[in-house]
Amino acid sequence: MNLPRLENSAARRIFLDRHALLESPQGPANSDALIALIERLGFVQLDSINTVARAHDLILFARKQRYRTNDLKRLYEKDKGLFEHWTHDAAVIPLSYYPHWQMRRDRDAAKLRKQWRNWRRDGFEDQLQCVLDFIRENGACGSSDVGQGEKRGSGGWWDWHPSKTALEYLWRSGALHVVGRQNFQKRYDLAERALDQQFTAPQNPPTDGDTIDWCCSGALDRLGFATSGEIAAFWAHVTAAEAKAWCAKSLTAGDIEELEIVGADKTCKRVFARPNLFADAAITQQAPQRIRALSPFDPALRDRKRAKFLFGFDYRIEVFVPEAKRIYGYYVFPLLQGERLVGRVDMKAFRSEDTLRIRALWPERGVAWGKGRQAAFEAELDRLKRLAGVNNIEFEADWLKPSADHQF
């Protein structure tokens, strides 16, 4: 069976459009604009590493250059337009999506109790009621407020004290709600106190089937095209089997169709898409030629295999790689220009020195780093320093490296 074939450039433009990267990052970054952007993306991953700016801040800044870190904090904690939970990782999500996390909370309640009982072996379940009672009496708290007298380790996930494990379990399973972060540490309150009754006791809650349909449909719309496995992985709610069954049902109903997309290496991959994808306006839209530094956790790059297939960009974050074995650096930012990923840069804001320091930059293979591209890069650095809260830019000696030819 010969399937319709979408060429690589068209596939890139559709994919970038769905990730809000095909247009210039103009316009307001107030609460209304941010919630609309996050709804378009689906969610924004949270991460604590702050070499230039935290991942969630850089994700939003790459799409709204007026964005500043307090804009998300206001939307999350004051306007209460977002809630925090898990997709593939911790994320902030539009509050209107909260009902569709009930299936995830129910599944986590069963799965984590078993997993963590085997992992922790220190009786975290004995602390569940104690933690709930403490929060009911004292209000929202963080992990440092509970479990006084318990043995405390380094604070890493592998070394939580029992009450910290209880807090996380009660949050993941729905009894608690994260109401914000202080110094990036979560603060938990009772869900029944933090949320309106329409969320904690809805009159017509979605069934698991409703949520599976919502997840699969929403994932495909936000990806533009995808395999059933990519659809399942988007929210990380549904199983591979559930996504596969949804694709089969939707294909029979005519809601989706099969086609091939051409990768950067000219190979083809079979995917699902909405009908009439070949008439999508994004195909003829030109991507802006400004350079944008992307977070390693940007939704357009989260699936490393997809980034390699579509853009020929072989990327791995090396935070957990021993320093002697790193190829590029601890936290290296991909650089997007037009519809190409043109390089990767190792840079860090030294706030005590009021300086954004560029340690190294590797153009991608076949990318010439001439005066025009350098000027575009420096313009991006000028924008980034404002987000990072510094005034100066400094290039280390020999910062421009040979092309990034290494394949991980």
Give me the helices (H) in 19-127, please: 31-41, 55-61, 69-73, 102-120
Contact in structure between 390 and 351 (CB atoms under 8 Å) = yes
pLDDT of residue 157: 47
Q: Which residue has the tokens 């969630």?
A: 56
Among 58-72, 109-123, 213-227, 310-324, which is the least confidently predicted range?
109-123
Name every residue whose Cβ is closer than 8 Å to that of residue 370 and which is 6 or more positions away in sequence.
Answer: none
Tell me which H or E stretch contains 303. none
Confidence of residue 114 (pLDDT cuts 50, 70, 90): confident
Fold that domain 313-395 belongs to in CATH: Aminopeptidase (3.40.630)
pLDDT at 1 over 60: yes
- Residue range 362-382: mean pLDDT, rounded: 97
User: At residue 31, does pLDDT exceed 50?
Assistant: yes
Phi, psi (rounded to 5 degrees) for 86: -105, 140
Q: Tell me the pLDDT tens digit for each residue of 328-358.
A: 999 999 999 999 999 999 999 999 999 999 9
Residue 91 — pLDDT band, cuts 50, 70, 90? very high
Nearest residue to 45 via CA among 372, 230, 385, 303: 303
Strands 5-6 and 257-262: parallel
Q: Does the structure show a pLDDT above 90 at 378? A: yes
Question: What is the pLDDT at residue 275?
Answer: 97
User: Which percentage of the chain shows pLDDT scores above 90?
Assistant: 87
- Contact between residue 302 and residue 88 where contact means Cβ atoms under 8 Å apart: yes
Output the CA torsion sign for 38, 281, 27, 348. positive
Distances (CA, A) of 274 to 1, 244, 260, 277, 382: 19, 16, 13, 6, 40
Residue 117 pLDDT > 80, yes or no? no
pLDDT, residue 150, reads 58
> Containing H/E element for 379?
helix 371-388
Contacts of 52 (CB under 8 A, 6+ apart): 58, 293, 333, 347, 348, 349, 356, 384, 387, 388
- The tens digit of pLDDT for each residue in 162-209 reads 888 899 999 999 999 999 999 899 999 999 999 999 998 888 999 999
- 3-class secondary-structure state, position 259: strand
Ranges of H-type helices in 282-370 = 304-311
Rounded to whole angstroms, how far apart are CA atoms 113 and 84? 20
* pLDDT tier at 151, thresholds 50, 70, 90: low
From residue 258, alpha-carbon distances to 151, 278, 358 in Å are: 55, 12, 44
CA distance 159 to 164: 10
pLDDT of the residue at 26: 93
Residue listed under structure tokens 């490393």: 304
Measuring CA to CA, how many Å separate 283 from each of 11, 42, 62, 116? 8, 22, 21, 47
Closest CA to 229 of 221, 238, 240: 240
Q: What is the mean pLDDT of the chain?
A: 93
Q: What are phi and psi of 121, to 5 degrees?
A: 55, 30
pLDDT band at 120 (very low <50, low <70, confident <90, very high): low
pLDDT of 407 over the 70 cut = no
What was the pLDDT predicted at 125? 84
Residue 292 pLDDT: 98
3-state secondary structure of 230: helix
The pair of three-digit structure tokens given for residue 375, joined into one six-digit string: 């000027």
Q: What is the mean pLDDT of residues 124-146?
A: 91
pLDDT at 149 over 60: no
Residue 229, SS3?
A: helix
Q: CA–CA distance from 88 to each of 27, 128, 354, 389 (Å)?
A: 29, 25, 35, 30
- Which pTM does this prediction carry? 0.94
